[in-house]
Structures are given as C-alpha cells and as structure tokens.
Amino acid sequence: MNIEKFIDYIGWTFLVATLILLRIAERLLDNIIKAKAFLVEYSAFGLLLSLTVLYLIFRLQPDYFKSGETKRASAILSYFFGLIALFVFGTAYYNLETSKQNTKTTNAFVIDHYENYRYKTKYVTLDIDGRTERFQPNKNEWEKISVNDSLTLTVGQGQLGYQCILQFTKQ
C-alpha cells in the first residue's frame, strides 16, 4: 500500500468515527450548560488542529494534494471535519469526567418536555437562572419529569470551565 492510500484511509476512519460518535455520544454535548459557547470555542480549537494536521501532511507529502482524484478530496474533507468533531467530542468527554469531582446542586424549571420520534431521543427545555436551554436526561429521569415541574440538578464544574448536568431530580 502506498503512503497516499494510507493517508486516505486514516481520513476516512476519522469520518466514520465521527459519524458513530454523533449518534452514540450526543449526550456529551447535550448536557453541557452553555453548550453553544462550548461548541463554538472547541470547534475553533478543533479547526486549528485540523488545519495543522493537513499542513503537516502537505509538508511531508506535497504530492498528496496535487492528485486529481475525487476520492482524495473526500479524504481531505474527512480529515477536516473529522478532526474537528473528534476534538469537540474528546474535550466534552474530558470536561464531563472532570466535572464529577466538583459538584453542586441548583434549581431549574421545566418549560418543555418532548421526544424526537424519529430517533427516540428525549429532551427537556429548562429555565436555569433565567436562561433557557435544552438538555437530554436519561430515559428514567425523563419519564419522571413533566412540564412546569421544578427540578434539582446535580451540576459539576469541569476542568475546561463548563458545567455539566449530571443528574435531573424532580423536587
């Protein structure tokens, strides 16, 4: 196998891993308080990582980018998007794991309670300290929650500075 095919396979592996993570690890992002800010911040860092890796490939194997193959373009895009997404999921996982060591409780009010019928994903929209956000409790927690309920949330502060909801408890 030549080096260019090997680089292609790595890029496609990143893309496949990303697609799998999007489905099975979505809760990593859904239960971060201020998840949009987290996503923007760590997508920017992931973009820098992605561009750095692509630049290194260019410096080490310049002919890789000169190929006219359409498969090559898809491999390059796989690196680009795959590394960004893997970086975001990796940092979300790190933030979640480190948040378990520094917890507190806070109150929230349930504004909406619904299920995505296509994917069977269960969501609640909460008012936390005057801010409205959507979260994804586990199935058992979701079944106990209704609109207009007051909740006690167990929230952890991760090493990356973002809070994660670790538990949803009906008051």
Structure-block tokens of residue 170: 């009906």
Q: Model confidence over 47-63: pLDDT tens digits?
A: 999 999 989 988 888 77
**Rounded Cα–Cα distance for residues 38 and 162 (Å):** 7
Q: What is the DSSP string of 86-139?
A: HHHHHHHHHHHHHHTTSEEEEEEEEEEEEEETTTTEEEEEEEETTEEEEE---H
Q: Model confidence over 24-44: pLDDT tens digits?
A: 777 788 899 999 999 999 999
Q: Are 117 and 82 in contact (CB under 8 A)?
A: no
- Mean pLDDT of all residues belonging to the chain: 88
Q: Where are the domains of the chain?
A: 3-99, 103-170
Q: What is the pTM of this model?
A: 0.84
Confidence of residue 77 (pLDDT cuts 50, 70, 90): confident
Architecture field, domain 103-170: Beta Barrel (2.40)
Strand partners, 157: 163
